[in-house]
Amino acid sequence: MSEAEEFLTVARRAREAAAGLAPLPRAAKDAALHRIADALVDAAPELVKANEVDVTRARENGTSESMIDRLSLSESRIAAIADAVRKVAALPDPVGESVRGNVLPNGLELRQVRVPLGVVGIIYEGRPNVTVDAAALCLKSGNAALLRGSSSAHDSNTALVEVMRRALADTEVPVDAVALVPGTSRASVKHLMRARGLVDVLIPRGGASLINSVVEESTVPVIETGVGNCAVYVDAAADVDMAVDILLNAKTQRPSVCNAAETFLVHADIADKFVPRALAALRDAGVTVHGDDRIRSYGTEVVEATEDDWYAEYLSLDIAARVVDSLDDAVAHIRRYGSGHTEAIVTASQPAAKRFVALVDSAAVMVNASTRFTDGEEFGFGAEIGISTQKLHARGPMGLPELTSTKYVVTGEGHLRG
């Protein structure tokens, strides 16, 4: 059987599984998730052994230690993954929730209710924990998950999916509701991207190149997630201490994630007070600042910013910086270079905050708060499958409700249209 034929077999089985999964009650789905969590813990030695193959291969290929850390599994990390599955089980089930409803003038009862999307394909890089997180979120929301992780984690992902499928065999959830896309070649990704009619939606999780490739080449509808060129704007009316603290947290609390700040903009009227403090704090934290001429005038350690720096999602201890002459200039910079993920303003001026919120066109806008709060868990949604930066279907952190669509249920008493 060719790779293409093997994929079609897996995708068709996933579609059948989605039909069987959709009507299951919450209790059945939650029981399956708890069974998966227990199975992961029980299989920890098996999973660590499979992961060691990936880690060894990564080291032989010269992969950086930071990336190897993201790839690595241990028994404690597997226990944490299992706990995350249990947390998903504890979340409310969105399926069947009434979004709106009313009785029409002719007496028809109209309800719009949440339903699963169907088969969700997920293309992702690096971390094998995404394999389990994505599967758990899909199952809870009544969807089948077709998973395509990176080749660097192939042995880990294969073992994780095998454990989950074994666990599902003892539950009401169809085994084929969780499946790995066959193969590790580029062609296997294309099979998934071209599976319109079998796969209902694709969600890419990774860097800009991965997301752009999926968007440009896929015939399956795509929900874009993850790219974050987030900016912190320090307004003329900002509290300097607060601004320094927020900037430092947004940049350094975890620099390798999409909601970390990659740019800071500061109003010229407060630059003399703020910039020296900010540069010192960032320097102490090991951050390299790539600044315009006005920022560079405050410190010899500042690297000259290029046009590429304004677009950069560094995911490292680097940040671009610019002095602006007005709030509108800050917004213009964000609109030109930003990715539509998260922007923050630090200000004591309510009119400035309102104008910034009104003008900035991003999935999340923070007022006097770090960009690091754009996260499903932090927003109180529980786990997330990603952060959507587009405007159709879902925007911002994608929790369980965002993994559903809706349908209309219309109930009559023999109503006929005249």
Domain ranges in the chain? 3-225+393-411, 230-373
**Burial group, residue 116, by CB count within 10 angstroms (0-12, 13-18, 19+):** buried
Bridge partners of residue 29, in order along the sequence: none
The dihedrals phi and psi of 376, each to the nearest 5 degrees, come to -55, -45
Q: 127 is written with which tokens?
A: 């971390």
Q: 24 is written with which tokens?
A: 């299951």
Q: 385 is written with which tokens?
A: 């499958």
pLDDT of 69: 87
CATH code at 230-373: 3.40.309.10
Q: What is the CA radius of gyration of the chain?
A: 24
pLDDT of 225: 84
CATH code at 3-225+393-411: 3.40.605.10
**Distance (Å, rounded) from C-alpha 308 to C-alpha 95?**
44
Q: pTM for this structure?
A: 0.90
**Distance (Å, rounded) from C-alpha 27 to C-alpha 30?**
5
Tell me: the pLDDT tens digits for 133-172? 999 999 999 999 999 999 999 999 999 999 999 999 999 9
| HSE-CB for 12 with a 13 A CA cutoff | 6
Residues in the chain, total: 418
Tell me: the pLDDT tens digits for 200-210? 999 998 878 88
pLDDT of 184: 84
Q: Would you call 201 helix, strand, or coil by DSSP?
A: strand
| DSSP per position, 34-76 | HHHHHHHHHTHHHHHHHHHHHHHHHHHTT--HHHHHHH---HH
pLDDT of 294: 98
Q: Taking a C-beta distance cutoff of 8 angstroms, is the pair 203, 188 a contact? A: no
Please state whether beta strands 288-291 and 387-388 pair in parallel, antiparallel, or not at all (unpaired). unpaired
CA-nearest of 400, 416, 358 to 138 is 400
State the CB neighbour count (10 A cutoff) for residue 286: 9
Q: What counts of helices (H) and strands (E) characterise the chain?
A: 15, 16
Q: Taking a C-beta distance cutoff of 8 angstroms, is the pair 224, 211 a contact? A: yes
DSSP letter for 92, please. P
pLDDT of 66: 76
Please state whether beta strands 98-103 and 109-116 pair in parallel, antiparallel, or not at all (unpaired). antiparallel
CA-nearest of 347, 148, 324, 167 to 242 is 347
Query: Low-confidence residues of the chain, pLDDT below 50?
Result: none
Q: Do domains 3-225+393-411 and 230-373 have the same CATH topology?
A: no
> CA separation (Å) from 410 to 55, 112, 118, 347?
54, 9, 22, 49
Q: 350 is written with which tokens?
A: 């309510």
Separation of first and last alpha carbons in the chain: 56
CA-nearest of 226, 245, 264, 32 to 141 is 32
